Structure 1
């Protein structure tokens, strides 16, 4: 098994406070560090009751301050929601405070319902390349003076490790053009993985930081001591996927008992099965075989695991079992 990393979606569980859920992010990062994971990333979401990672840079600082060796970062910052200048200032500062430990994953989505575009003044997709080029220039020593209207001293020479994120060939192409390592969101679009990675590798332009393509694949995983227990614990994550697919903004994660008791209409069972099939769920033996298959298919260099279960202790156990594969 190659390097393993963690993506924390900041899922809020029913029956917990916001403070408890956010503190769990910090505590789980310590756990991941203890189990030997390579990096711990937090996502960016806005206006979705199920997710609490809207202040991504703030959470990264809290996680980095609570750990000492694991890499910490964003998976990712949705660049159209932000001014490139502010992203450079935030992540240059983070890299200065925690040198050699900060990752900046960049996405082109919104991370929330449609109204988020209006409230955050989200820029249109056609502006993404301009934003990315501007951002990268801020991190170059002297880059602000020669390329941009102003110099950002806190960013110049304090560049985090920058990643391109995507669930399609478009995101793969952007990462390849700039010589960035690429994270493919297999948990969002399993069917598109092979084509996206083909585009990334064929169009990759070597950079000083990454002379060769580098691929990390992000997978939704629930691992437990038995296949049956894992399937039961995965119920709430399947429920959130079902709510999103139905056009609803999911609320806090219900308990697996609540999901099992509620069930689904018979005519929706194929859709539920399809959502479950996109996850890797089971005992260590079952999960290990499926992750090996995904690694072989993708020829990936690293795996990133995202796990949404209701109880913190079940997530800790999942991380522990995965770290032993």
Structure 2
């Protein structure tokens, strides 16, 4: 079990408080036995503070002792591969044996923001495989290379490929890399992507057999009713994105039906469906999470809990931790 922290900026708050909350969460989940703590690259999103992903990874790693810290993910088309190799080489040098580099091929933003990031105009997401190959080359110890990542060369920084479709599943399989699927927002493609990955996997120096980690939204509370109420914050967040009006994470509301139309409800529920968005009391969470793992045969589950109140968010992860004992 691992943690995906979207570093939420809540309504009435600011990024500074978001980072404080992320540190507090990381320290607690480390104590509770979670395996890794990942942060994601998003841009121009008023409710997500982790745009400078490598910077906040270093901040979290410095505030913890043992838990693995990494990216879920770095959107590689936004960056020069050498810069990412240097950044994560630096992180691995500072926190040896604790850094993961998860890579995605989407821009993590809209087209205008992608342009503002100064992406090369002729760079396409279909160039992603070549970028991954180039990035792997920078971590190899090749003294004859004309351009070397310093720090980075010769370091063991585990690479993961992330995806919400079949593209990265096939690329992960071909390269023999671990694969993480974004089932927390693309549940319909989860099983087909897993099948592609497992059926086509080729062993490598990194992995002898497939290793799949799946994203799951979990909103846990003492009762089903409280959990359903807390979950309205995430529902409002996806609704705002659907409307093209992304916002800070809003507080829970008593009646979500007053906020969305029937069509909007269907759209949000398609994204946050019951297979990979689990809401409820400890007994409900345990039952549904056990079923999810049995169905998918996931090697690891990475949990996103978009909860407005920090104490309630910590309690949600604590409930999950109790199930791991």
Q: Same fold (TM over 0.5)?
A: yes
Tell me the equivalent position of 2:300: 302
In structure 2, C-alpha distance between the alignment counterparts of 1:317 and 1:290, rounded to whole Å: 18
Pick closer, same or farther for the CA change 1:27–1:270 going to 2, 3 Å: same
Tell me the equivalent position of 2:266: 270
Alignment of 1:57-68 (within 5 A): 57-68=54-65
Alignment of 1:128-147 (within 5 A): 128-142=128-142, 145-146=144-145
> Which piece of structure 1 moves more, 227-236 or 252-261?
252-261
Alignment of 1:225-264 (within 5 A): 225-246=222-243, 248-257=244-253, 260=256, 263-264=259-260
Alignment of 1:1-325 (within 5 A): 4-122=1-119, 123-142=123-142, 145-146=144-145, 149-246=146-243, 248-257=244-253, 260=256, 263-266=259-262, 268-278=264-274, 279-325=277-323
5+ residue gaps, structure 1, are none
In structure 1, C-alpha distance between the alignment counterparts of 2:33 and 2:75, rounded to whole Å: 28
Once the two structures are TM-superposed, the CA of residue 259 in structure 1 deviates from its matched residue by 6.8
In structure 1, C-alpha distance between the alignment counterparts of 2:203 and 2:80, rounded to whole Å: 27
In structure 1, C-alpha distance between the alignment counterparts of 2:108 and 2:13, rounded to whole Å: 23
Aligned length: 318
Once the two structures are TM-superposed, the CA of residue 275 in structure 1 deviates from its matched residue by 4.4
In structure 2, C-alpha distance between the alignment counterparts of 1:84 and 1:159, rounded to whole Å: 16
Residues 16-63 of structure 1: per-residue CA shift (max 9 Å, x gap): 122111221112111110111000000100001111110000000000
> Would the aligned equivalents of 2:239 and 2:264 in 1 still touch at CA under 8 Å?
no
> Would the aligned equivalents of 2:187 and 2:273 in 1 still touch at CA under 8 Å?
no
CA RMSD after TM alignment: 1.6
Provide TM-score, normalisation by structure 1.
0.93
In structure 2, C-alpha distance between the alignment counterparts of 1:311 and 1:172, rounded to whole Å: 35
Residues 137-177 of structure 1: per-residue CA shift (max 9 Å, x gap): 110111x734xx41223111213111110111111011112
> Which piece of structure 1 moves more, 14-23 or 83-92?
14-23
5+ residue gaps, structure 2, are none
In structure 2, C-alpha distance between the alignment counterparts of 1:268 and 1:166, rounded to whole Å: 25
> Would the aligned equivalents of 2:11 and 2:250 in 1 still touch at CA under 8 Å?
yes
Provide TM-score, normalisation by structure 2.
0.93
Once the two structures are TM-superposed, the CA of residue 121 in structure 1 deviates from its matched residue by 2.9
Q: SS at 2:217's partner residue?
A: strand
Once the two structures are TM-superposed, the CA of residue 115 in structure 1 deviates from its matched residue by 0.9
Q: SS at 1:256's partner residue?
A: coil
> Would the aligned equivalents of 1:108 and 1:128 in 2 still touch at CA under 8 Å?
yes
